[in-house]
Amino acid sequence: MNVLVIGGGGREHALGWKLKQSKQCGKIYFAPGNAGTAAVGENVDLAIEPVTQKVADDIAYFARHHKIGLVVIGPEDPLSGGLADKLRVLDLRVFGPNQAGARLEADKAWAKKLMRSAAVPTAEAQTFTDAQAALRYVREHETPVVVKAAGLAKGKGVVVCDDAEQAERAVQRIMVDREFGEAGDTVIVEERLTGQEVSILALCDGRNIYVLEPSQDHKQVGEGDTGPNTGGMGAYTPTPVLDEKTLVLIEREVLVPTLDALRREGVEYAGVLYAGLMLTPGGPKVLEFNCRFGDPECQPLMVRMKGDLLAAMLACSEPGRYGLGDVDLRWDQRVACCVVKCSGGYPGSYENGKPITGLDSAAQMEDVSVFHAGTKLNGDRVVTTGGRVISVVALGKDLREARDKANAACDLIQFEGGFIRRDIGDRVLT
């Protein structure tokens, strides 16, 4: 069976790499892909957004001519634009939720309401559509808050504030200066929680769920968790921050009730449900939902996954079959750590087009996988074309070994201005 993967980040490279290991998998196409995915399959020039009928028709035409048995949609933008719905109408098999399900990520205010209706534990929050009202609220609020753009902002629309002044500035940037465009028309002001964070991803077939191994992302750009939020600077799995009991509790009190609440709204959710949680002294609380695999969490998860990803995705892509119960995924018992090498300046502005060297030497290291994100081929040279450029995953007997190996591999990969966080996992190592 041939597969089309929509997207071109580290997540899509890792998904394609893992899918390719399935016995059932034929050729993999990526739209648009990157320099790394070109070595797993073939990159194709298909428009994927904004999602229009023409975009869907062109993808369907391509799929028919290339015998595509499954379309895997990686990123949130096409999902929230309704690409899965449109492709399903055109009789394609798709992995990824419909537009109504993707709203869980695309509209944080709606997600908050849904969580409240289902009594899912989450941070207390107020929603604002009026900047003056939001400014008044944060000025008068005594305890620290987090200000979030309600729409999609590439993981950067969240500002964790220490005081009222910072919160006012955040509201100003999001609502008045419109730094994230219409994603900031509505703002959520949330109580600031404390605790370890954990990413829990589950495959869903519309009825059954299969919870993947827990992982921990590192969102802030600077070592020691400092500086602005990014799309994710590194992640590792499994994480010792939660025990089996807490994982079961999260399944029972967060994932299942959320899927039930969606069903009450008429949404049968199939694809990946990602819960970003904080383990607070009062128990786990949801910070956000995503409607897709996390990036970079996906990369170390794929390296540890031993089962057949294609079979699992197919089980989640046939409405009404609910095939996930038959899927058996196993996991490498070692720890996988992913470190992301970024362009100088990220998550602010940065320059593209920097030649990258050392990719082969890094990939030749034992138990190291190199997944491309913001790269493209320029002739036969690989150059940068994004903020997060390369994600390196290393396996080790423990987190320290895996992290040190991933850092060493990142050091072999060089491009002007490139930088990493060397402290991935330190929250549990020190």
Which residues are at the interface with ligand GLY (CB under 6 A)? Answer: 155, 217, 232, 290, 294-295, 297
Nearer to ligand GLY, 93 or 292 (CB): 292
Q: Which two tokens stand for residue 201?
A: 């991803």
Q: How far is the CB of 155 from ligand GLY (least distance, A)?
A: 5
Q: Which residue has the tokens 């949404």?
A: 267
Question: Torsions phi, psi of 151, nearest 5?
Answer: -95, -170
Q: Which residue has the tokens 């095939």?
A: 323
Q: Which of residues 223-242 bind ligand AMP (CB under 6 A)?
A: 229
- Taking CB positions, which residue lies at the least distance from ligand AMP? 288
Angstrom distances, CA of residue 361 to CA of 34, 139, 179, 368, 408 = 19, 53, 40, 10, 11
Q: Which of residues 193-212 bind ligand AMP (CB under 6 A)?
A: 193, 197
- Whether the Cβ atoms of residue 356 and residue 375 lie closer than 8 Å to each other: yes
- Please report which helix (H) or strand (E) contains residue 260, including its range: helix 256-264
Indicate which of ligand GLY, ligand AMP, none lies near residue 323 (CB less than 5 to 8 Å, by partner kind). Answer: none
Nearer to ligand AMP, 160 or 392 (CB): 160
Task: Give yes or no for residue 400 binding ligand AMP (CB under 6 A).
Answer: no
Nearer to ligand GLY, 223 or 318 (CB): 223
How far is Cα 360 from Cα 373, in angstroms, rounded to an integer? 16
Indicate which of ligand GLY, ligand AMP, none lies near residue 190 (CB less than 5 to 8 Å, by partner kind). Answer: ligand AMP
Task: Give yes or no for residue 66 binding ligand AMP (CB under 6 A).
Answer: no
Indicate which of ligand AMP, ligand GLY, none lies near residue 287 (CB less than 5 to 8 Å, by partner kind). Answer: ligand AMP
Q: Which two tokens stand for residue 366?
A: 């034992």
How far is Cα 276 from Cα 287, in angstroms, rounded to an integer? 5
Q: How far is the CB of 288 from ligand AMP (least distance, A)?
A: 3
Reported as half-sphere exposure (CB side, CA atoms, 13 A), residue 108 has a value of: 31
Among 35, 79, 287, 373, binds ligand AMP (CB under 6 A): 287
Task: Give yes or no for residue 160 binding ligand AMP (CB under 6 A).
Answer: yes
> How does DSSP classify residue 430?
-
- Whether the Cβ atoms of residue 403 and residue 396 lie closer than 8 Å to each other: yes
How far is Cα 419 from Cα 410, in angstroms, rounded to an integer? 9
Indicate which of ligand GLY, ligand AMP, none lies near residue 387 (CB less than 5 to 8 Å, by partner kind). Answer: none
Task: Give yes or no for residue 123 binding ligand AMP (CB under 6 A).
Answer: yes
Indicate which of ligand GLY, ligand AMP, none lies near residue 105 (CB less than 5 to 8 Å, by partner kind). Answer: none
Nearer to ligand GLY, 68 or 160 (CB): 160
Nearer to ligand AMP, 193 or 382 (CB): 193
Indicate which of ligand AMP, ligand GLY, none lies near residue 192 (CB less than 5 to 8 Å, by partner kind). Answer: ligand AMP
Total residues in contact with ligand AMP, by rule CB under 6 A: 15
Indicate which of ligand GLY, ligand AMP, none lies near residue 151 (CB less than 5 to 8 Å, by partner kind). Answer: none
Indicate which of ligand AMP, ligand GLY, none lies near residue 290 (CB less than 5 to 8 Å, by partner kind). Answer: ligand GLY
> How does DSSP classify residue 183?
G
Q: How far is the CB of 259 from ligand GLY (least distance, A)?
A: 19
Q: 283-287: list long-range contacts, CB under 8 Å, 24+ apart.
A: 283/121, 283/249, 284/121, 284/198, 284/242, 284/246, 284/249, 284/250, 284/253, 284/254, 285/121, 285/122, 285/123, 285/193, 286/115, 286/120, 286/121, 286/122, 286/123, 286/254, 287/122, 287/123, 287/193, 287/197
How far is Cα 385 from Cα 38, in angstroms, rounded to an integer? 15
Among 18, 219, 372, 376, binds ligand AMP (CB under 6 A): 219
- Whether the Cβ atoms of residue 1 and residue 26 lie closer than 8 Å to each other: yes
Q: How far is the CB of 297 from ligand GLY (least distance, A)?
A: 5
Indicate which of ligand AMP, ligand GLY, none lies near residue 232 (CB less than 5 to 8 Å, by partner kind). Answer: ligand GLY
Nearer to ligand AMP, 190 or 205 (CB): 190
Q: Which stretch binds ligand AMP (CB under 6 A): 152-160, 308-316, 335-343, 371-379?
A: 152-160
- 121 three-state secondary structure: coil
Q: How far is the CB of 366 from ligand GLY (least distance, A)?
A: 27
Residue 284, preceding peptide bond in cis (omega within 30° of 0): no
Binding site for ligand AMP (CB under 6 A): 123, 146, 148, 155, 158, 160, 190, 192-193, 197, 219, 229, 276, 287-288
